[in-house]
Structure 1
Amino acid sequence: MTRRWTARELLDLVLDEGSFESWDQPVDTSGHTAEYRAVLAAAAEKAGTDESVLTGRGRVRGRPVVVVVNEFRFLGGSIGRAAAQRITAAVRRATAERLPVLATTASGGTRMQEGTPAFLRMVEISRAVMDHRDAGLPYLVYLRHPTTGGVYASWGSLAHLTVAEPGALIGFLGPRVVEALTGKALPDGVQSAENLAAKGVLDGVVAPENLPALVERALAVLVDPPSAPSLPRRDGEPSGTTSAWDSVLRTRRDDRVGVRDLLRYGAAGTVRMSGTDQGERDESMLVALTRLDGRPCLVVGQDRTRQSERTPMGPAALRVARRAMGLAEELRLPLVAVIDTPGAELSQDAEEGALAGEIARCMAALTRMTVPTLSVILGQGCGGGALALLPAQAVIAAEHAWLSPLPPEGASVIVHGDTAHAAQMAEAQHVRAVDLLAEGAVQRVVPEYDGDTVRDVAVAVAAECAAMLREMDAGS
């Protein structure tokens, strides 16, 4: 049987020992009926807490954080006016003191004994959370079993990063209520944390025991300043002797460096995110909070290993990218956009899913961002799918990376009526990184040497990314 943690147990688990400072004021029940006061007293005795929510300040591996923790044993974690006031006050104080918030839910929603007045307090909580986010401060949520109703439909769904407890029931309304109101039962598993993560509603599923490490990694990116670089930069210029077609073929090899290698060898403390948080997920677009050679940033990258004829990069991937852009802007983090795609999806679904519009909206979003933005052409840069992540404030490229409006084979068909002239078209269209440098389309090309391993190239590119971001910081 899965263990369900109480609010106090979770505080002890996540926070540094002895660091918790309660911000809660005594609950005033004098305005309630005697019958309801008896219900509250019995709930307090059962739960060991005076309300369904505990709030306060603590530390996670030394970093200060404000916590809002539901206690399900107190009337199903339901939110009445006193609990709502606690949450709102804690978030407001966190904003004033410029502290991140970690909220963890386990609730059936609004407290039915208090009705509409309590229900309306969800608006005040949501307003406080959004003011906190508008201040550029992190808001993290851990959904526990069960989280439903007004809690999930307000402050439980407004986080920058949202993860859930394994096996947790997460839903708009609990299955028993849904069946009673509609006469139909939801299919098994629809409201499970695992299903919602698979659908792109949640960023992931995390066991309580692993929550402290996740929060630490996230805060290390979101709160800690940059650290000194440690990766070696490559001096000198690219040789420029490799033909365009040879570069194209190199980037199509299975052992070509990709965005996952960039994170594996050139980054630390990575926290993967997933989906649009609105019910779409496309694994061809990777999003991560991380530190590239000590520089906190948000990476959004096209994952070539997840793109194939069966699973091309579709409109949902670009909506994932736009979510990443919005998060970077809101969290005041530099955005590093990694380009590596053989081309976007060509299908009825892509057309009806607004692929062209999503390319345009990605470009528009990048051009309007105020945080530092850096595009990295790492491998294949084919068509509008590549262009979607290109218009950053600065662009760098690996030496064998390339950029073209179509695959060279497609350009050959248009010009020559066959694919036999693909190599010739690649040369004629000036697709190479060194050509892009000469045109001023990229600011720096990272040399690649014969005998390089995937790790070598990943480290070199990561070091150049961090160096460019430092230059952008110095110039701002």
Structure 2
Amino acid sequence: MPERLSAREILALVTDEATFDELPGTIRNPTADGPLGWQGYDASRARAAERTGEEESVVCGTASVAGTRAVLIAFEFGFLGGSLGERTGDRLEAAYTHARAHRLPVVPLVATGGSRMQEGMLALTQLQRVARQSALTREAGLPQIAVLRDPTTGGGWATLGAGADVILALPGAQVGFAGSRVRPPDADPNAYTAQAQVAAGSADAVVRPEELRETLGCWLRLLTTPAQEAPVPHALGTAALPDTGWEAVRRARSPERPRAHTYLDACFTRRVTISGDRCGGTDPDGMLCGFGERDGRSVAYAAQTGAATRPSGYRTAARLIRLADRLDIPVLTLVDTPGAANDAEAERQGAGAAIAEVFGAVAAARVPVTTLVIGEGGSGGALALAAPGNTWATPDSYFSVIAPELAAAILKRPPEEVEATAGQLRIRPQDLVELGVVRGIVDTTGHPGS
């Protein structure tokens, strides 16, 4: 079991020294043993206060985290299991209201067992208050970054935790809607861990305590310092244009050609990744999504890696684009895929709907979206990430309505006519410029041309 830090200890761990200013707690007229008259409830609260030194299960305030100011909400698990009651809801609402009034990001440091039984349904309805405050903060264009501590269960996980834009977790933390005392007797305990939630796409990363301040500070900087627009990266491969369509295909498929990792490392001085579609899936081999820093400003990126993209990859990209749009951060997309995964499992996972999500996210984005085709542009699975009117290509790329081999098969042509079919499709970078599909071809010096 990981070490359980108190609210004050986790605040000291993540905030810059002497920067935490606690927000005043809302005073609610007490009733004997709470709203339900639960016998012994007052005594339980008094013991919790004496044991922890806190008046409620959350401590809220403002502080700097590696130089970026934020509102922090730290749960005190020692106070009745970090449970939510009416007074907890008062404090949470006040914290979110303060964040919106002062244009500050919100960082819930969650450690809770759920809603407070001694307050019955009045405690459970605090989740609706929290959800409302989170929604208003989202509409205000302010980021929310949750840190999951041990344990994070029940409604606290289903609102403050899972409802955040970015979710970080401490190693070994128990994370799940069902707490250990209410799970089925045959439940696999490994499914209720921070690592399992990251693997399932429900959280973004596990962060060691000693790295938490710097990691959280990096996220806060990147989500609050947007660039004006995304750059067009310069080409990293060959500078010469292909003579034929089939040559364009061979170059794009070459294992020596630079891939997304290389382009992202060259474009950004630092970057962080989001992981998962929040629907139970990840696609680390097919899609890279996150935020990068360039010249001190932030750009969001969704980059295909050269493999067939899975439905979870498309959903993660859509999540990234929608988040960037809310935070006014421009988006860079890198197109490089032979196409969307089309196996039976991909169909069962909703490939069509997932691709539609990305088309819709790009189409609806109010922030600038810039696209560079760095390799294969395979059909609609590639086009979904392409910005209409702002797509560029490298010399070692192609974009096609369908792979030349499949086009020849559909047309009932023999294999020896595949190369000629590639030429007929007009898929070379220079063909794409002439057809008006892309704006231009970028060279190795970073200057886009036509």
Asked if 2 retains the 8 angstrom alpha-carbon contact of 1:231 and 1:293, the reply is: no
Change over 3 Å in CA distance of 1:103–1:392 after alignment to 2:
farther
The residue number in structure 2 matching 1:381 is: 377
Question: Does 2:323 match 1:320?
Answer: no
Q: Match for 1:24: what amino acid?
A: P
Please tell me whether the aligned partners of residues 363 and 391 of structure 1 are also in contact (alpha carbons under 8 angstroms): no
- Residues 1:163 and 2:165 are matched in the alignment: no
Identity %: 33
**Partner secondary structure for residue 262 of structure 1:** helix
The change in CA–CA distance for 1:292 and 1:410 in structure 2 (over 3 A counts) is farther
Is it true that 1:139 corresponds to 2:166 in the alignment?
no
Per-residue deviation at 1:121? 1.2
Q: Deviations over 1:106-163 (max 9, x none)?
A: 0001111211112111111110111001111101101111011111122221111011
- The residue that corresponds to 1:102 in the other structure is 107
Q: Which residue of 2 aligns with 1:258?
A: 259
Instruction: Provide the C-alpha distance between the structure 1 equivalents of 2:359 and 2:229, rounded to a whole number of angstroms.
Output: 32
Q: Match for 2:443: what amino acid? A: P
Residue 275 (structure 2) aligns with: 274
Partner amino acid, structure 1, of 2:221: A
CA–CA separation in structure 2 for the residues paired with 1:357 and 1:130: 25
Report how far residue 294 of structure 1 moved: 4.5
Q: In the TM superposition, what is the alpha-carbon distance from 1:362 to its structure 2 partner?
A: 2.1
Q: CA offset at residue 39 of structure 1? A: 1.4
Q: Give CA deviations for 1:35-58 in whole Å, capped at 9, x if unaligned.
A: 322211211122232211000001
Single out whichever of 323-332 and 372-381 deviates more from structure 2: 323-332
Q: Does 1:412 align with 2:404?
A: no
- Once the two structures are superposed, residues 56-115 of structure 1 have per-residue CA deviations (whole angstroms, 9 ceiling, x without a partner) of 001112211110010111111111111111011101110111110111100001111211
Which residue of structure 2 lines up, in the alignment, with residue 365 of structure 1?
Answer: 361
Corresponding residue SS for 1:189: helix
Partners of 2:230 and 2:311 lie apart in 1 by 36
Tell me the TM-score normalized by structure 1: 0.86
Change (3 A) 1:169 1:232: closer
1:343-358 aligned within 5 A: 343-358=339-354
Partner of 1:394: 390
1:207 alignment counterpart: 208
Give the aligned CA root-mean-square deviation in angstroms. Answer: 2.6
TM score, norm. by length of structure 2: 0.91
Q: For residues 228-267 of structure 1, what are the structure 2 equivalents within 5 Å?
A: 239-240=240-241, 242-267=243-268
| Matched residue type, 1:154 | T
Is 14-23 or 261-270 further displaced after alignment? Answer: 261-270
CA distance in 1, matches of 2:419, 2:186: 58
Q: Is the 2:287–2:305 contact (alpha carbons within 8 Å) kept by the matching residues of 1?
A: yes
CA contact (8 A) 2:332 2:370 kept: yes
Tell me the residue number matched to 1:15: 15
Where does the alignment leave 5 or more consecutive residues of structure 2 unmatched?
34-38
CA positional deviation for 1:231: 11
The alignment of Structure 1 onto Structure 2 pairs a total of residues equal to 441
Q: CA deviation at 1:29?
A: 6.7
Task: Say which is worse superposed, 50-59 or 201-210, in terms of deviation.
Answer: 201-210
Aligned partners of 2:245 and 2:427 also within 8 Å: yes
Q: 1:359 to 1:26 in 2, by over 3 A?
A: closer
* 8 Å Cα contact 2:233-2:263 kept in structure 1: no
**Can you list the C-alpha shifts for 1:356-415, whole angstroms capped at 9, x where unaligned?**
343334223312221111121111111121111124451111111110122222222233
Quote the residue 2:88 is aligned against. 83
1:80–1:118 contact (8 Å) kept in structure 2 = yes
**How far apart are the structure 1 equivalents of 2:274 and 2:435?**
35
Measure the CA separation in 1 of the matches of 2:201 and 2:318.
14
Cα distance change of structure 1 residues 35 and 175 upon mapping to structure 2, 3 Å threshold: closer
Query: Counterparts of 1:229 and 1:343 in 2: how far apart (Å)?
Result: 24
The code of the aligned residue for 2:325 comes to: E
1:287 aligns with 2:292: no
Aligned to 1:121: 126
Alignment correspondent of 1:300: 302
Counterpart Cα distance in 1 of 2:331 and 2:231: 20
Q: Does the CA-based 8 Å contact 2:162-2:202 persist in structure 1?
A: no
Range moving further from structure 2, 121-130 or 262-271: 262-271
In 2: Cα distance, 1:424 partner to 1:172 partner: 57
What's 1:196 paired with?
A: 197
Paired residue secondary structure (1:113): helix
Alignment correspondent of 1:455: none
**Do the aligned residues in 2 keep the contact of 1:315 with 1:355 (CA within 8 Å)?**
yes
- Pick aligned residue for 1:51 from 56, 60, 75: 56
Contact 1:394 1:443 in 2 (8 A): yes
